[in-house]
Structure 1
Amino acid sequence: MKHDAAPVAAGRATLADRERVAPAGPGDTRRLGKPERERKQALLWRIGFLVAAVLLWEFLARLGVIDPRFASQPTAIAASAREIFTDPAVLGAIGETLVAVIAAFAIGTAIGMLVGVVLGFNRLLRDAYFPIVTVLLGIPKSVFLPIVVLFFGLGTGAGVAFASLLAFVHVAVNVVAGIDMVEKKYYDVARAYQANAWHRFTQVIVPGAAPGIFAGLWHGIRNGFVGVVIAQMFVSAAGIGYYVRVYSNNFQTDEAMALVLAAAILVIASGAGWGVLEARLTRWRS
């Protein structure tokens, strides 16, 4: 019996969300997520661990078990942070790093998304080229830095190119994995509703592959930042990585540690913000 043609847009929920998980009843032991109480307890434990680690670090440094000249100590780092983060040169270096990260993320993610979608849908191209991408994923990316320098020279361009390579590999792999997550039954429902290629892509594939896509985007941000900072430490005269190298070479451990911790906090905050954004954009999955 032939199905009547129906507007796909009107049946959007029936394509990607055909089978929803029923809410857990009083006697249902399935859990749809962490209870709020457990999340708060985990946060308190995490904060307690960090506070204890900082206090132990300071205590061991004051006792002389840790040499402050090489490992510094939290109070000295805090004092140095107040100085360097009011220095216009350091603030400008942070701005240059963020601009380079954004550029690397945009380039690497755009290419990675395109390659991931093509490899995810074309079996021949996937069999031919996806093994190359996975090999790149397993190779330590720092070995490509000298080659990148040969092509782009010393400076910001090499950092952006190197970080784009890191972002591209992780985004492409995660997008392919996300496309593989879309179950065949959703394609069958789309065909039953006579969905065209565009509707299948936007209403079936993108929602179904959302976890892989969001994971790829986050890896693009994280690896873009890592790639830029690593390149700045070795082949650039600007940015956070450059100042970390300068402070380390001059045995200014307090200043170097302050910049490293600031970079770590920036990445952690970005991850937390990305997690909140992902939860809001994929709320329909719950």
Structure 2
Amino acid sequence: MSLGISSTLTEVLARSAGVDIASPLQIRAIGGGSINATYHITTSSNRQWFCKINDAGRFPDLFVLERQGLALLEATNAIRVPRVIACENIDQDQVLVLEWIGEGLRTNVFWQRFGEQLAALHRITAPSFGLEHQNYMGALPQSNTRSPDWVDFFIHQRLQPQISLAIGKGLLDHRDLQQFQRLYKALDNIFPKEPPALLHGDLWSGNFLCDEHNHPVLIDPAVYYGHRSVDLAMTTLFGGFERPFYEAYAHHYPFPENHREQWEICNLYPLLIHLNLFGQSYRGNILHTIQRF
């Protein structure tokens, strides 16, 4: 962290959190961010914040859109999100400061509470799938143009943009596209009509916390109104959550009988994202799924 950024963060926190401008900040770089520089900020009186910094030109409005997503989730009162302390552009950087969440124990009670609260979030609906603005999924722009139909939205706003990008990069070819087109014809039978659900949108194991009171906290959202299987599918993508989470969710919002099929299909989207960001190692999983269906 440069002296200039440290000074600027002091000014930001003086405006937004009442920090003494003369009080030095302890700023410690921490890991976990795939595209952002991330920091733990502490004052001499032990006030603490979490800070992200990124290039304002490379990812325009990345943190403004994250702030909007957090606000949408917070307004539901279904599940906790960190409070936004500041969201500003500073020279060539964009800066997001959030409350610091102390880590608690991920007990069975935590997992049950998480499943119940996610089910409550998914009960919040809208007239159509999508959102009134675009946002990001990781480092890639995410289109949320609204549609009254989930399958139409999933094909045109989720799969096709990523497939086109992958073909342009030479990561998929036109034979793969033809397999996707055959898959599209099966989707209406795989996804019976359900109301749009408010989604976190990127719910893998790195995008939630357990606070000091063993309550779940959602971070790094890619929100929109979609099919609830999108969130549930992503929980399984890198190892899965604990059994009490799924049991509690299903108690409050039962899974459809073919939910495992739905989850496999929904995970094509994050797998395509990973293909486009990280390369060929994800191609095999994608082709295995589309060939199965």
- Same fold by TM-score, threshold 0.5 exceeded? no
Provide TM-score, normalisation by structure 2: 0.20
> Per chain length, whose mean CA-contact separation is higher, i.e. which structure has more relative contact order (CA < 8 Å, sep 6+)?
1
